[in-house]
Structure 1
């Protein structure tokens, strides 16, 4: 896909990976609407991003899992720049520890990590089919291909995000809609820092597992991998290339991989 001239919406774009993706899209000639929860952080992100691409970015405070807010972001993009050609479903949450995660934690994880993607696709895919083109970028996680020590809700919903992206690609990939699924390991973001500093021992273990399993990358480096993957219309975008090796080991001998993950968990405890 050619990014220059594309109109994009990026969720969770006030910081971290989402901000970095928005910045790289703008630097490569896209026009971007950023969607995040609070007006203050969205305004700060738009101000900062505007320095890289004056007049090419707009922002909206809203909930990426709420259909009305998603529609408002898509409508804003259309009014300011034109029809949305790329949607980056980037926002995510990591809530709850193990079986102690509450039903509220699980519900929020499903809403943000999965159903936000489904609702965005419902709004965009019909128009993309009419135009014969569109691009859906799903930020999942290496946890969606492997697993996440500590947080069942995060691991399960990230697996679901990968599965939904796969389904989109299988169902619409021959009709002009491209799909990519971003699956990084450790990234230097607030989510990782919050886990490292958590009062909850399980959350700290989960963060340590991520940080110790490979290099902790900077968000802009992840965004560079995203732009390369979009250019090539590649489904799996793996900023940490070792994830592919782990994934292959898992598929080749599931029981051996599970035993290895148990040993890794014990070593971290």
Structure 2
């Protein structure tokens, strides 16, 4: 499975799942621009990866909700490596709160990053692909929450459902231009964010493992391997799909992060 000659932009690529995706694409021969809100982290990630992949990785700071920032990232990648033909819409974040306490600000921020970001990036890529007359691939990072409702995550669940539906519509419209659009839906993945939030350990980690047939928390690499496959020619007859990468957790359903957090707090306070 070779991606030699392909040029990718990975949003939210400085850490976690995004960083693992960058590594996987590089290992298969692609050139990659890391686009991240944290410009320092993006630059550090690129500098580290350049040691093994000289001349094939760069970074750019910016916000996925800004058209001008995204255009600058595409321009930078094209200037250094050639036309972009892979876009990974991975940037994201969330807060957690019950619906009656969820702020309008948090709702708007989560919806904007998780849905507007992929829309803007995909639109920019599609117009450039049409101009260059090349085929391309988009992979959006959805979540198991696109169909698994979870207390405390009304904004996140709604946004991720939107990502998967956007993936279908984009695939339908853009197939005529040789653009495939797919999504991955990770379950609980071990990252600095999920670990610092206590989701992979304690009661929350226990609840997840009880509901996961493969009996472990996912690693960023688990998702990255699927992404690398989806953008390769080996997946050339796949588009408009959301692929669950969750150790089978979908079968038994997610636990409620919010209710489990309250239960954990009660145990610690006892």
Bin for the TM-score computed over the shorter chain = 0.7 to 0.9
What is the aligned partner in structure 1 of residue 26 from structure 2? 26
Q: Are 1:69 and 2:75 matched, yes or no?
A: no
Query: 2-side partners of 1:59 and 1:212: how far apart?
Result: 39
* 1:233-244 superposed matches below 5 A: 233=236, 234=238, 235-240=241-246, 242=248
Q: After the TM superposition, which of the residue ranges 228-237 and 109-118 deviates more from structure 2?
A: 228-237
SS at match of 1:183: strand
Deviation at residue 10 of structure 1 after TM alignment? 0.2
Structure 1 gap ranges (5+): 198-203, 247-256
Query: 1-side partners of 2:157 and 2:15: how far apart?
Result: 22
Q: Compared with structure 1, are the counterparts of its residues 209 and 166 closer, same or farther at alpha carbon in structure 2 (3 Å cutoff)?
A: farther
Q: Are 1:4 and 2:7 matched, yes or no?
A: no
What is the aligned partner in structure 2 of residue 164 from structure 1? 166
SS at match of 2:245: coil
Deviation at residue 79 of structure 1 after TM alignment? 0.5
CA RMSD of aligned residues (A): 2.7
Q: Compared with structure 1, are the counterparts of its residues 47 and 211 closer, same or farther at alpha carbon in structure 2 (3 Å cutoff)?
A: farther
* 1:124-135 superposed matches below 5 A: 124-130=125-131, 131-135=133-137
Please report the TM-score for the alignment, with normalisation by the length of structure 1.
0.83
Query: 1-side partners of 2:250 and 2:140: how far apart?
Result: 17
SS at match of 2:151: coil
Q: After the TM superposition, which of the residue ranges 217-226 and 66-75 deviates more from structure 2?
A: 217-226
Deviation at residue 12 of structure 1 after TM alignment? 0.5
Q: After the TM superposition, which of the residue ranges 144-153 and 40-49 deviates more from structure 2?
A: 144-153
User: Structure 1, residues 12-33: CA drift from partner, whole Å, max 9, x if none?
Assistant: 1110000000011011110000
User: Structure 1, residues 72-119: CA drift from partner, whole Å, max 9, x if none?
Assistant: 110100100011100000011112412212111011101110000111
What is the aligned partner in structure 2 of residue 185 from structure 1? 187
* 1:144-223 superposed matches below 5 A: 144-196=146-198, 213-214=211-212, 215-223=216-224
Query: 2-side partners of 1:242 and 1:57: how far apart?
Result: 34
Structure 2 gap ranges (5+): 264-270
Q: Compared with structure 1, are the counterparts of its residues 153 and 17 closer, same or farther at alpha carbon in structure 2 (3 Å cutoff)?
A: same
Q: Are 1:107 and 2:95 matched, yes or no?
A: no
Query: 1-side partners of 2:35 and 2:141: how far apart?
Result: 15
Query: 2-side partners of 1:70 and 1:221: how far apart?
Result: 27
Deviation at residue 47 of structure 1 after TM alignment? 1.3
What is the aligned partner in structure 2 of residue 85 from structure 1? 85
Query: 2-side partners of 1:244 and 1:102: how far apart?
Result: 29
Q: Compared with structure 1, are the counterparts of its residues 230 and 124 closer, same or farther at alpha carbon in structure 2 (3 Å cutoff)?
A: closer
Across the two proteins, how many residue pairs are aligned to each other? 250
SS at match of 1:182: strand
Q: Is the 8 A contact 2:85 2:134 kept in 1?
A: no
Please report the TM-score for the alignment, with normalisation by the length of structure 2.
0.83
Query: 2-side partners of 1:206 and 1:89: how far apart?
Result: 27
What is the aligned partner in structure 2 of residue 200 from structure 1? none
Query: 2-side partners of 1:207 and 1:241: how far apart?
Result: 14
Query: 2-side partners of 1:211 and 1:62: how far apart?
Result: 36
Structure 1 segments (4+ residues) deviating >6 Å: 204-208
Deviation at residue 57 of structure 1 after TM alignment? 0.5
